[in-house]
Structure 1
Amino acid sequence: MDTTGKNKFDALTGMRAVAAIMVFAYHNRKYWRTDLLFEIMRFISEWHIGVTVFFVLSGFLLAYRYEDAPLQSGKSYLKYILLRIARIFPLYWILLTAFFWMQNIPTM
């Protein structure tokens, strides 16, 4: 698959990264200092919109990329699924391991 030209949207990919950071920050806001300005915390508490932005952009980018090369055969579909798993699962297992490891750290 050609990753240049028509199939590449650097600005949208960047927006998707910002949306992912927004989701991360939103879910971790309870661990931040409580003396931050109220306005800053209120602003961050609205970052749940990052989930919607992330999924809409992801759906568009995937649909646009595969518009001209549909998954017509079982072999091409299997290849697509395996490549997606190879891309997503390493980070998933790293984060899952870190989560369980952090559960065993005593609080100060």
Structure 2
Amino acid sequence: MEIIMIILAGILVAAAVYLILSRSLLRVIIGTSVLTHAVNLLLLSMGGLKTGAIPIYGETVKRYVDPIPQALILTAIVISFAITAFFLVLAFRSYKELGTDNLAEMRGVPDDEQ
């Protein structure tokens, strides 16, 4: 099962890189969001997909699940949500000011130099 998760994370990273390298600002924002989801999936699979009890010290618990990868992923989800919201507001504001979401036009590169 872990191999399937790692392959899925690789596919998500490839799709995210494709989206980040495009000219549209909205695609770049979606690409960064997909990349954060891929990293979260990779962190979860690196922590190990195992079953067990909650990590409370007791005499009856023999196996427990490590809570550190889940805590890291929860923190990463909150941070990626905040950054995505900031990127969306920044993209909306730049679209209102410049009238385009094309990154080449935002830089001021003429069409013949692309």
Give the TM-score normalised by structure 2: 0.36
Higher radius of gyration, 1 or 2: 2
